[in-house]
Chain A
Amino acid sequence: MADSKTLHCNLITPDRQVFECDATSISLPAHDGSVGFLTNRAPLLCKLGVGELTVESPGSTHRYFLDGGFAQMLNNDLTILTEHAEESAGISAASADADLANAAAMTASDPASRAGKDAALARARARKRIASSRR
């Protein structure tokens, strides 16, 4: 368990536990905007959106790109469940650009495919933002 100054963070995907550490502050993309976490935050259950998870721990910062999922905050323990987590450092500008081009080229003729295209566009834009902010 984390001591009084830190909170424990756990990032889990269906395939494996991606990452686990004690952090001083965490910022994650909720469905309605970015949410920050410090120690002793009240219990929270929220749906996640597309964006970047930033975990500040003593001595290092970890960044991951998340696409949807859920977060649970309880007793200084933040559990993030997502189907897709990717280390931000691994996203190259070229692949982000290619993703965006692919998403823009998707056809959107009916509501279902339009929703799919919107989601792909949001994903691609978020990845591109992450890739370009690193430079």
Chain B
Amino acid sequence: MAKSRAIAVRRKAVGSIKKITHTMQLIATAGFQKALGKSVGTKPYTEKITELVRQVSAAGGDVDHPLLKSNTETTRRAVLLLTSNRGFCGSYNGNLLRAAMLLIREHERAAAETDLYVVGKKGVNYFKFLGKEMRRTYPDMPDAPAFGDIEPIATDFMQQYESGAYASIHVVYMKFLSAARQQAEAIQLLPIQADAGGDGGKSASAGAGVEYDFSPEPGALLAELLPVTVKVRLFQCVNDAVVSENVARMVAMKSATDAAEEMGKLLGQQFNRARQSQITMELLDIMGGVEALK
């Protein structure tokens, strides 16, 4: 009968979807572990740079650096949004886009125009759909960017900031808190805020009181270090985003696999029931025929 055959077809489809989502889950798990390893590998550099900045500024490296000053001539702001290239990662992109829109509206309320810089196809498509103009997109960004991929973006932002094009530059990305928790976060990349180091006074005592030879003198050294901190900060954001994307995909595919399994069971029951009632009806038909012949 038609009904049981239709159920059988659906059951088969659900079975192959389950296989696919399960494979995608495994791929995302591998990607997550790789991205996490990479993210951990970047920690020593970041921590050391932060430490150096702290020590140099403690040594009286007080500078009037353009990256520290706020630009008052313009109200225009830049937002760099880090989304993924591919979907199938649950609410990952949705949350990011919501956070970005919140930031943009906040800027609008402050009567500031926002220039959008978007990484990732998902973000680009969203703003295209809204008809919102994007200042720049980065279609060639690899899935797991290296420092060399990020550095030109940071340098470009710093140049624009120094030329006075923007009052501030923000980054919206998915912060990786733990494997179970990621949060869309907006940070201010430029001008550099005093507590940009992040971990506050945790390691302040590490080299305190040491009399260093500075070469060049602290002010000049700090001026060299500041652009590096901006690059490192952006690189950290990107690394976090990659790790979070993989986690989000892993979780989304896990629940898709579970849902497919559930649905497969249900369809199995329905199929058996339909087949049984079909058999019963045929039997009744035959018995009816036999009775009629008597």
Interfacial chain B residues near A74, Cβ < 8 Å: 207, 210, 212
With both beta carbons as reference points, the residue of chain A lying nearest to B218 in the complex is identified as: A45
Chain B positions within 8 Å of A45 at CB level: 52, 55-56, 212-215, 221
| Distance A14 CA – B233 CA, assembled complex (angstroms) | 11
Docked complex: A11-51 residues within 8 A CB-CB of B: 12-17, 30-32, 42-47
Across the interface, which residues of A come within 8 angstroms of B147, CB to CB?
A: 13-15, 83
Convert A57-95 into 0s and 1s, putting 1 for each residue whose CB lies closer than 8 angstroms to a CB of B. Answer: 000000000000010101000010101000000000000
Q: Which chain A residue has the least Cβ–Cβ distance from B61?
A: A45
In the complex the two chains form, is A12's CB within 8 Å of B45's CB? yes
Selected contact of B215 from candidates A13, A30, A81, CB within 8 Å: A30
Closest to A41 in B: B213
In the assembled complex, the Cα of A89 lies from the Cα of B224 at a distance in Å of 29
B214 touching A46, Cβ below 8 Å:
yes
Interface residues of chain B, those whose CB is within 8 Å of chain A, are 38, 41-42, 44-46, 48-49, 52, 55-56, 146-147, 151, 207, 210-216, 220-221, 224-225, 228, 231-232, 235
Q: Which residue numbers of A lie inside 8 Å of B, CB to CB?
A: 12-17, 30-32, 42-47, 70, 72, 74, 79, 81, 83
Q: Bound complex: CA of A83 vs CA of B41, how far in Å?
A: 14
Query: What residues of chain A lie closer than 8 Å to B225, measured between beta carbons?
Result: 70
Question: Which of B211, B231, B232 touches A43 (beta carbons < 8 Å)?
Answer: B211
A16 partner residues in chain B, CB cutoff 8 A: 41-42
- Complex: how many Å from CA A83 to CA B235? 12
Cα distance, A46 to B228, chains bound together (Å): 14
B210 in complex: contacting residue of A12, A31, A43, A47, CB < 8 Å:
A43
Chain A residues closer than 8 Å to B151, beta-carbon distance:
83
Known: A42-B213, A45-B221, A83-B147. A14 touches B55 (CB 8 A): no
Q: Main secondary structure on chain B at its contact with chain A?
A: helix
- What 17 new A-B contacts, CB under 8 Å, besides A43-B210, A46-B221, A47-B216? A12-B48, A15-B38, A43-B212, A44-B212, A44-B213, A45-B52, A45-B212, A47-B215, A47-B221, A47-B224, A70-B221, A70-B224, A70-B225, A70-B228, A81-B45, A81-B49, A83-B151
Q: Which of the residues A14, A32, A44, A47 comes within 8 Å of B42, measured between beta carbons?
A: A14
Q: Which of B46, B55, B146, B215 has the most CB of A within 10 A?
A: B215
* Residues of A contacting B220 in the complex (Cβ-Cβ under 8 angstroms): 47
A30-B215, A45-B213 known; A15-B52 Cβ under 8 A? no
Query: Which residue from B38, B52, B211, B214 sits with its C-beta under 8 Å from A81?
Result: B52
Q: How far is the CA of A45 from the CA of B219 in the complex (A)?
A: 12
CB distance from A35 to the nearest CB of B (A): 8
**Which of A15, A32, A72 contacts B48, CB < 8 Å?**
A72
Q: Cα distance A45–B44 when bound, in Å?
A: 17
List, sorted by A's number, 18 A–B pairs whose CB atoms are closer than 8 Å: A13-B45, A14-B235, A15-B38, A15-B146, A30-B215, A31-B216, A42-B211, A42-B213, A43-B210, A45-B56, A45-B212, A45-B213, A70-B221, A72-B48, A79-B48, A81-B45, A81-B48, A81-B52
Nearest 10 Cβ contacts at the A-B interface:
A14-B147, A46-B215, A16-B41, A44-B213, A43-B212, A45-B212, A14-B45, A12-B45, A43-B210, A12-B44
Instruction: Give B154 Cβ to nearest chain A Cβ, in Å.
Output: 11
CB contacts (< 8 Å) of A83 on chain B: these are 147, 151, 228, 231
Question: In the complex, are the beta carbons of A14 and B216 less than 8 A apart?
Answer: no
Give the nearest-CB partner of B213 in chain A: A44
